[in-house]
Structure formats: C-alpha cells, structure tokens
Chain A
C-alpha cells in the first residue's frame, strides 16, 4: 500500500483476510493478517484489480479485467490485473474447478461496483450536483446537464491527494447485464502479443542476480507418495562421484530429498545424472490389473442417492444389464516441466513460482521451511498450462531447500522425466452399474458405484524430508463429481467408495466427473438400444432439467442428428466403418452436492479402421450453455481446447507402470494427439447472456469419452467400456466380436542379389600367391618368416627426440592427411582427452587393451623412437623395446604402407606437440599376456610385404585398395575375425565384424543394407557422415568420418570406389534411388497401419517419429530413414539398441545433427517393444530378433566408449 500512497492518491476496496490453508491442514490465526485488496483506482489514471486465482493459460486475466472495466466504467485498456502474488492478492484458495469467473470474480465485481459508487459520491461533492444527475463512463464523470467549468472530470481528478481505503460492501448492487458494454463482448487477450514475441516472462524465464542452478534426484518409488518406504529409502549418496565436475556447488540431502546445485544449468543436469545414489528399492503396488487394484483398495462407501427400491426392481429382471467401466491413470502432461526460483535470505524467503495455489503453497512452504508465513512471498508467474495440478508447487519446495542450503538464489528446473513421473496423476476410476431395462423399455433401476483413489498429494518435499509422515495417506471425498446421473431413474442408488490414493494423484480436468459421466452416458445409450429407442429421444424422456434438454435438442439439430434405434448395418468386408454418438453432461464441482458449471453436449463422428483398430474422431459438434459469457471468444477457445484434449485422453492416454513406478517418462511413453488427428469442431454456444456466468474451463471435456464410445458402438456394434480406445484394444474387441479381417499380402519388394563375382583384396591375393608359390620361393620366404617369426626381437636404441624442423612442411601436411586416413587419433585418444595422447580402452574378446600415447613425448610417448623403430612397429607389430604388439593395433594392414607415406606419417607424428600422459599398461589374462606368443600368430596371419596393385583394375580402385586395406584398415573392423583374432581376408573380406561393442556391418554382398552401396553413396557418407539411402555414421564410425575430413577428396572417392565394389548385389532394372523410394513408401504404409498400436508403436510415434519420419525440407539436420538403415535390417539388434540408449552426441559432421540419448527416459520394456516395432515395420523381410531383452539389459549395463567418442578438432 505504501507504493500506492506515493502515487498521488488512490481509492482501494479491501476486505478482511480469510483463513488461509495449505494442502496439509494446520491452525493459523487470521486476526494478525492484513486486509485483502480487490480493486485500486489510481489518481494517476488506471485501475488495478487483484485476484487470488491465477491464469493457467485460459485467458481469465483478460476476462477479469473486462469485469472490472465494466463495473467501474473505465476503458478496458485502463485495467491491469494482478493475479496470485501472495504479497498483494487476496487468498481465494486454489485455482480449481473452473470457478474463477463463477466464484472468485464475485468479490472483485462487487469491489469494482463499490469503487464506482464511491467515485460517484466524490463527483457529487466536487460538482455540487446530486449523484442521481451524474453518471460515469469511460473513466469520466458525465451528465446530461453541463458540468461546472464545462471541463472533463476524470476519476484521477476526483482522487487527487486522497488516500481512500474502504471495506467492501458485500451488498453493493452490481450492474444489470442488459447495461453491459465490455462484458459479453469478444476482447483480444492481453497476454498474447508478449507471448508471441518472446517478451513474456514465464516462471522458467525468471533470472535473479547471483542465481545458481539446481536439479533434483528423485527416489525409485517413482510417482508414489505414501507408504512405509517414503522418506526413508535413501541408503547412501556418494558426493565424491560428482565432486570433480566443473561448477559444482553442493549436494543437498535431507531424508529422501536429494538435490545438486551448480553454477550452470548443464552442469547441474550432468551432476544429477552422474551422482551415485544408493536406494532401497521398495515393492510397489502392482497396477497391471487396474480393475483388481481398485477393487482391492480399502474403501469407505458413501451413499449419496437412494431413490425408489433398486433391489426390488432388479429382482428377477429379465432385461438385466450389469456393466463395468474402467478409466486409466492419466497425466496432466504439461508441456513445460515445472520450474521455480527461490531466494532464501535472512530477512525472508521469496519464491518465483508457476503455482496454481499461491496461498496454499505459502502455507506448505512455511511448514517445510519452519518459517512464519509473513516471511514468505510467492511471486506468481505464468507457466505451462496444467489443467489440474502438476509439479509447480513441488518444485518450489525443491528450490527452497536448495537455496537454504547454499545461501544463494537457486533455480530448479525439473526434467521431462521427473514431471511425467511425479506429477500427481489424474486418478484411475472404476464405475460399476447394476441395472437393466423393463419389458416396456423403461429403465428398471440404476445402481451406480464409483471408486476414485485420490487425495490432495501433499507437497512432495514435505513427505520426502519426512516432515509430513507418508506412511498413512489421507482420504478425500472427491470421487463424487457428477456422480448423480442426469436422468430421472425411478429406482436409483449412487454410492461413492472413498479410498486412499494408490499412485500419487490429485485433481485433473473434469475431476472424477469425466469417468462418472463416461459410465452414465454409455449406460443410458445401452438402455436406449435395449429399448429400441433413438438415444437422443431416450435421454430427453428422462432429462428433467429444462436447460439441459434445450441444449441437447439444439446440439442434435446442429449436427443433423438422424434418429436411429440400432447401430448401422455393418458391411463385414468394409475396412473403414463410420459411426456417430451422442453424450451429455453437466460438470458439478466442489463439496457434494456441489456447484454445477456449464452444461455441455457432444455429437461425435468417428471412423474405425476395421483391420488396424485405429479410431479417428472426424468431427465433433459440441454445444455449451455457459450462462453469461464474459469473453465469448475465450469461451470458444476453452471449448476447442477441451474437445481436443479430451479426445486425446479418450483415444490414447494411459499412464503405464513398472517395478519402478510410473514408466511413462516422456512423450513416447505418454503420447498426445497430433495435428493431423485433430477433429473438425463445430461449436454451438447458447445465448444465455442474461444468466449468471458458469465455469467453462472443463465442461466440454466431460461428455467426450462416452460420445466417442457410443459412436464406436454405432460404427461396429461393439461396446467399449475401457479407456483409452487404442488401436490394439479396439482391434482385439472387433476381432473377438466380428472375426479377424485377413491381412493383405504386401507387394513384395525387389531383393538385391549378388550378381557379380566379388573382387579379392590385395591382402588375400597375396596370401593366395604365398600358398601357391610357397615351394618355388621357399628360400626367400623362409628368410622373411624367420625374422618375422622370432618370438624375441631386439630393442631398437632410443634416440634423442627428432627435431621437427628437419621435416618439410609439405611432408608434415601429407603425413597429417595420412594420419587422418589411418584414423590414428580415433583409437589413440581417450574420451575427453588430448588427441593422440592415448588411453582409450578397447574392449576386445581377449580383454581390455589400452591405446598408447603416440605424441612425441620422450617419457610417455614415442619421442625417442627412431624412424626404423616406428616403421618396424607399423609393419611388423614390434615395439621399439622389442616387445610384440597386439594386432588390435592393425599392423597387419599398415604393412601395406609405402615407404614415402610411412616417412611422412613419422614426420607428422614427430612434429606434434608432445603430451605427457602415462597410460596404464595393457595387461591381458593368461595366455594372451604372453606377448612372444604373437610371433606364432604373425607366422600364421601376418604378411609384411607391401601392397601390390591389381593391374586389371583402374588406378582409382587401386588407390582405394591401397588406402582401404593399408592405412585405412577398413577390414580391421568390417572383416570377421577367426578364433585367434585374425581377419578372414580371403573368404570374408568386409563381411562384417565388430568394433568397441558395435557391429561393424558387412560392406560386401553379405551387406544387410536394403539398398546396395554405390560408390557415390559411400562417398557422400564418408564425406558428410550421412547417406540418405543408408543413414548416419554413428558409434565408432562417426569419429572415423570426422577424421577423414582431412583427407583429399580424391582419396575419399578412391576408398568409396574400392569398398563399394565389394557390394556386388544388384537390383535388376531398378535404380538404387527408385528402390529406396519403394522401400520407404512401403514402410510408410506399414507404419501408418501400425501407428499407436501397442507400446512399441506408441514409443516410436512419441519419441522417434519427430526426427525419423517423412521428408522435411524445413527441418535442420538429417532425417535418417529407418527403412533404409542397415542396422534395422542387421542380424543383431546391438547397434540399434546402442543408438537408442546413448544417442549420437557427436555427429560426424555438424550438418547431420545430434541424436539425444534415451537411456534415462525409456524403460527397458519400452526399448524392447520399440526395437521389435522398428524391426517389424521397417525391416519386414527379416526375421524377428531373438534375445532383445537380454541385449537391452547387457548394453545398458556395459560402459559405453563409443557414446563418449569425441569428434576431434
């Protein structure tokens, strides 16, 4: 108020404080609390309205301003609304039940009217005229008679120098609606221009000086907030596991609350990922049988209606129909994970918050912080829409705990996974109806019971820290919303089974009314069908509410409803079935019997794909009687939003659970409706501007599921009583009722076949020659072998480090390009280490081999190696000290390097900056630790002679052969090895091998690439790291391509020409591009058929499709086709699983774009189903993979070198 006093004058309308309260009840004295302000008229012009509710994206900020402008008679643009700040706005409880306009705006409206009355009195005093002769309009005093001085008199002039503070007169008359000029008219929303241009400051955008970044680590009982394990499952936190990370500030542990604080956001995220935390893993309730779990949950029945004699009516009834309806757990699924900033100071705590309940939150934070409420200020900012309650409050507790610990402001951003797992879900619900129809078609009885396992979900920080005991959950009576059926059944009973939550749950749009109405409206449809009466007509017979009946009639008329007494006739051969359904509901909120909000009715047109089970909601005619609509455009927008969101909920949405709790951790685990699936919506808003306003935020959602279910019945003759209507569920229901439709035979795609003889690599040609000519060249060969085969080789004396100045710049440059071709740095660089300084661990079948330091450091590198020592190591696999090297170092290939190239390589390596880096010695287990044994291996498998070209081939091919077989050592990874680790050049050159736990795919006729490699495709792949017909370079291949960027283009092309010549498959007359197109088109059809059917397809749709589907010239980065990807068609799923788990953090070239890792976002079961879906859909000619579960588990557990392979500078 001080600020206001300094403004030159004001009029404030206030009211004594009301009792505050948090989610956890406790007694607070209200006598000490200051008055609450509703409206302030400023002498400087302008009006500020205050409301304790917040704008959750529904536009109520605009609608409330309209109300204030109307009652005060000021231009709309003069009103500013302050919403939800605890320091300024009245405590009006949580923003729930769509009651802001219907309930919370009432005192605001009265306060504005009161202010107007005061202003009118002031005007009378000022002008000396009776108030009755004066009027107020657009912020001015007006009169039919001339005013003194004939000058305009503004409100500001009336208030100049005054400080008026009035207690709200609750009985003040408000304007009659027939005089409205602002309310009831469409007004553009005040917040949208700033949001569209990036000026709006959401809570996510709050930046406070000195702010640090926090992340939390949540316990393994994901999405469960009560039980004996809550708050006491933490065993150990290993702070040392993150102490070395840059920017680390602190690790905060209180009970089961664990958080990290760092200077930068990505540092905090990395610390949270790497922090080693040991938890007890509790046994969580099994929710795989949801109906069973709801029936087993302890409940207290509450009888809310008992009319007539249900038992007598049901006794011996022939037309008995008992039905069960099941609603799944669903998510609010806010698009923005919750965020908050807290600043803990000696003089008080400030929290910038996106909360829906600022005053309740303040009470909860007071409990968590043990701080009086008047020391806490909640500054409310807009956040992502939440449609109930998300983690917006919880994250405020997190931020407070971290800020208190470090003594600086801390911003906490929850991860997508944390928001999905921990938001209090919309509860599952089980509705059971005992009832039936009399022989004359009238309803015999309606015995309805409902089970709703929810509570208010205490602030998570309170239960994680143990401040609020979580062993025994509270029970709230919230399952009763719209539990009374809207039909005048003579014999009716309604029982609500109040029960504790199972999973963490709280209110979600259409709280319990949506499931209850799903049952009411499906059941009345069944009654109508049993009676042989049109479902609209049948409803109207028993609907006693006149406005409801008028609405239903109007919606039926708008939809051109054609009366019917049975489902449409079904053509059994038809693939797409069409149907139409109707439903009606009035959302009733608040404590029973509750407050009715707007009436709503739907007519939905659906299409069902008989073969795939896919349901399309093609069109919705939705009508609503909202009473007075303050901003009709805003009401229409809410109706649109409710139709689309509730269609998404009905068709697709269901939280899945596994042994760690909530398993839906991102949009693949919980997919939402997308643009192409959005129905056409025709909105009918009844003109009731003379009636009081009703809540419009949720009503249009409530009839949705029943209207769609009833349309499904019309289309198929089958009743579906369990949500969501996923393709797999619908198809199963249709197949059971109607018999399965035969699957069409897909048109076979041309299979590439080996059509030419494969070339022989020089390596194999030479060995062949060795064998044939062995006798004839015995002496010379034996001479060579004798040296090579000796197990004991002499040391070559160390030299003083060569002066790099003795090599020419041109030689060094050539050596650099050759080193790139040889990928020296790919293996000789540790993750995050300096290039060529060694230390990468190669996981071979013989054990871990650590690569050495090949910088010219004299102590730890090769600085004291002479050229002969270097050349011997490269060609013979003998270290300078005479020890045998293991053939993981590909000297078998390097032997082919010419003398000038070898010299240039030496020059380049010696000219590098020496790096001191001690690499632990490789120590293999017996017998591989006996290095002299390698001499025998060399006799068998090593041919040290130089490369010999094939005169029958082109110079380019031979250049490619020299590079690929020698320096490039392609075969080291891409050729299979025998039991002793030798490459099988002769029989299987480039026939597929292994590298660092990844499959190195075959590049020969054995290739699984759906389209044969051409030299052009391979060249593009090696130059850019991506081929449209094959995919991106990933895993250990990405750094190889990155290194090859230093090679001359002609050399890369030569390698491509040579290597592609081994893929001898051909596709007849079809060009590679045409084949690729046909494969992709066929895959797109299969994917469309399989879309959203089963977990694998859902994860694909939500997690993968955004980057892998279709062509998109407007999108940055590659869009790799899964249908053309070798790894999807491979014999083993390893590469596909590798890339799902760890993504591609470092693309070979920047234009390809990176792929995120899904390791922490998808559960094993989801990855298994996803891999199976991808295989079946995108490699249909290939058999299903065996052992996918085991491979996922193995690769998740294995340390991943390739994932951390840096792209070298």
Chain B
C-alpha cells in the first residue's frame, strides 16, 4: 500500500499519484497536480487557507490524508472556473475587490461556495458564522462579507460617505 498509487478525482480529472496514503491532500494538489489555489496556512485546520471542496463540502486539505480524499470528487479554486468562466462566487469577489494580499482568499471563496451548496439562501448571520473559522489578517472582512452577500443574493452594503 505504501508504494502503491492513490487515485483521486480532482476538478473532474482522475489522477494516480504515488505517495504515502497519509500524505496531506494539500501537498498532493500543490506539488503533484501543480494547483495554486489551495494554500498552506497552518497545517492544523485552523485558518482555512487550504480549503477545497470534497463532495461539494468545504474541507481543510492540510488535515485530510489523500487516502481519505480518494473516496469523493475534489474541487479546487481552479476547478470553479468552467470553460474560462469564473463561478458566480468568484465573480462576486472580483466585483467587490475582496482581497488585499489574497492569501486567505481561496478559503473564503471555497467556503462561500460550500455554504451555497448546502444552503442556497443563507442569512447574514449564517454567512458570518460560516466564515468565522476562516482567518484573514489584512482585515478584508468588510469586502469579503460584501462579496459573500453578493454571491448569496443579499444586498451589498454600500460604503457610506466619502
């Protein structure tokens, strides 16, 4: 088993990777599949920068062994773009300019996508609750919340004054 291939389905394509089955999914996505979306942030499932979708749900790929992930389809930030068209959640983040350094951005986009998969009409409180375990250090929370509101069909809060 230790030397056998692990088969995973990522962004609609099946890949066989020759890694230890305990290898965190994040390393396989980044180093074997060359994907940039999921980012290493803490390795402990605390910050959310590595978030991907497993069977449509938000998963912290730094803490998911590839052996676990092989049972379901995996989607990364790149996989949300279909035929060159970004996902509406991605569009909302672009429209709202919801990034400073952008390192946490992957986790924010993927978490909002997963929230919408599970609950197509979330409330403001549900949005904040879903994002509460995703950390952002730049303080982009205002813009991220607006992007999430836009993606979830809630009114965007227009910046007051000048």
Residues of A within 8 A of B (CB): 56-59, 188-189, 191-193, 195-202, 204-205, 207, 213, 246, 264-266, 332-337, 382-385, 387, 413, 415-416, 558, 632-633, 636-637, 640-645, 648, 666-668, 672, 674-676, 678, 681-685, 687, 832, 1102-1103, 1105-1107, 1109-1110, 1112-1117, 1145-1147, 1150-1151, 1153-1156, 1158, 1161, 1209
Contact = CB atoms under 8 A, between A and B. Distances in A.
A681 B37 CA distance: 30
Given A196-B94, A1150-B68, A1154-B68, A1106 B101 contact: no
Interface of B: 1-2, 19-20, 22-24, 27, 30-31, 34-37, 39-49, 53-55, 57-60, 62-65, 67-71, 76-78, 80-81, 86, 90, 93-94, 97-106, 109, 111, 114-115, 117-119, 128-143, 145, 159-162
14 contacts: A57-B102, A189-B97, A200-B36, A202-B103, A266-B24, A266-B27, A641-B100, A672-B135, A676-B128, A1107-B45, A1114-B58, A1114-B118, A1116-B55, A1156-B43
B102 A192 contact: yes
B22 A415 contact: no
Chain A at the B interface: SS class: loop
Contacts of B19: 264, 266
B77 A1116 contact: no
Given A57-B138, A335-B104, A1156-B63, A264 B40 contact: no
A374 B23 CA distance: 40
Contact of B44 (A678, A1109, A1161): A1161
A383 B20 contact: no
Nearest to A1151: B71
Contacts of A264: 19, 27, 31
B11 to A, nearest CB: 10
B87 to A, nearest CB: 9
A1147 B47 CA distance: 22
Given A678-B141, A1110-B129, A1155-B63, A197 B86 contact: yes
Chain B at the A interface: SS class: loop
Point out which of B65, B109, B135, B162 has the most chain A C-beta atoms below 10 A from its C-beta: B135
A597 B60 CA distance: 40
A383 B80 CA distance: 23
A1151 B67 CA distance: 11
B139 A193 contact: no
A387 B100 CA distance: 11
Contacts of B118: 1113-1114
B90 to A, nearest CB: 5
B65 to A, nearest CB: 6
Contacts of A189: 97, 99
Contacts of A675: 128-129, 131-132, 134, 141, 145
Contacts of A1115: 57-59, 114
B58 A641 contact: no
Nearest to B157: A680
B140 A1114 contact: no
Contacts of B40: 204, 336-337, 413
Contact of A382 (B54, B101, B104): B101
A1146 B68 CA distance: 9
Nearest to B126: A1114
Given A672-B137, A684-B162, A1105-B133, 15 more contacts: A196-B93, A201-B36, A202-B103, A334-B137, A335-B49, A335-B137, A416-B41, A416-B43, A644-B142, A667-B46, A674-B133, A674-B135, A681-B142, A1113-B119, A1146-B65
B140 A640 contact: yes
Contacts of B132: 674-676
A246 B114 CA distance: 36
B138 to A, nearest CB: 5
A645 B139 contact: yes
B54 A1116 contact: yes
A382 B103 CA distance: 9
B59 A1153 contact: yes
A1161 B60 CA distance: 17
A674 B130 CA distance: 11
Contacts of A195: 99, 102, 105
Nearest to B68: A1150
B130 to A, nearest CB: 6
B119 A1114 contact: yes
Point out which of A415, A633, A644, A1155 has the most chain B C-beta atoms below 10 A from its C-beta: A644
Contacts of A637: 97, 100, 140, 143
A936 B139 CA distance: 71
A57 B101 contact: yes
Point out which of B39, B58, B130, B131 has the most chain A C-beta atoms below 10 A from its C-beta: B39
A1209 B1 contact: yes
Point out which of A204, A1105, A1146, A1150 has the most chain B C-beta atoms below 10 A from its C-beta: A1150
Contacts of A648: 139
Contacts of A1145: 22, 65
